[in-house]
Amino acid sequence: MTSIVQGFTKSLAMTILSEIGDKTFFAAAILAMRHPRRLVLSGCLAALIVMTILSALVGWAAPNLISRTWTHHITTLLFLGFGLWSLKDALLEEGDTEELAEVEAKLDKDWKASNGATKNSNKDDDDTKKHKQSFLSQFFSPIFLQAFSITFFGEWGDKSQLATIGLAADENPLGVVLGGILGQALCTSAAVIGGKSLASQISEKIIALSGGILFIVFGIQSFLSPVES
């Protein structure tokens, strides 16, 4: 039980500090301004839950493929490396709104292209289709799929995904999954509800600095802790 709680708390803290101010956080905030919030929230959360479970499974399988000693040392190096990377970003980044503007510009471009492609569609047909849509088809609407794909591929290979793999290799995977999902739900809900106004007020430097310190603390703790046989 102690190992689950430890994995849960570590994963929760790491996820919150990794995801706030991340590209997927900004994407969720901007998408929620243009589309129904429930579809954006469900699409983003579905992608993050799938990614968290997949990452934890990879981390859980790693000690069964290579020795636990090696996975422990690799995890330690990952945490220390991500900590230094985050601190570098915090100290060298010039503007807090640069990433938000970059994400918004990309989504604007995609939205204009999509809007232009469907501009000449028949409005009466659209109204008829809306009445015929089942709950399942609404759930897997283009908006849901857009939010899912943007979030899923935005997180693929991201620092938070690799950190989740490392954490699951060193801690209880169930605790890591539960903490990760709760952290993702809190961050994504805040982004969707708060929208761009909240996203623009977040200091990326402070978040990166806090995340860097947390990763280094995890790395030092991992380095000092004995390898479980």
Tens digit of pLDDT for each residue in 154-201?
Answer: 888 777 888 888 888 888 899 999 999 999 999 899 888 887 666 667
Enter the DSSP assignment of 95. Answer: -
Between 29 and 177, name the one with better pLDDT. Answer: 177
Answer positive or negative: Cα dihedral of 57, 60, 61, 62. Answer: positive
Contacts of 197 (CB under 8 A, 6+ apart): none
* Structure-block tokens of residue 165: 């793999």
Dihedral angle at the C-alpha atoms of 214, 83, 208, 211, nearest 10 degrees? -20
CA distance 224 to 220: 6
For the chain, how are helix, strand and coil distributed in percent, rounded to 5? Answer: 85, 0, 15
Burial class, 201, CB count within 10 angstroms (exposed 0-12 / middle 13-18 / buried 19+): exposed
Rounded to a whole number of angstroms, the CA Rg of the chain reads 20
Tokens encoding 193:
């509800």
Q: What is the pTM of this model?
A: 0.73
Give the residue-averaged pLDDT of 81-110: 70
CB 84, CB 216: distance < 8 Å = yes
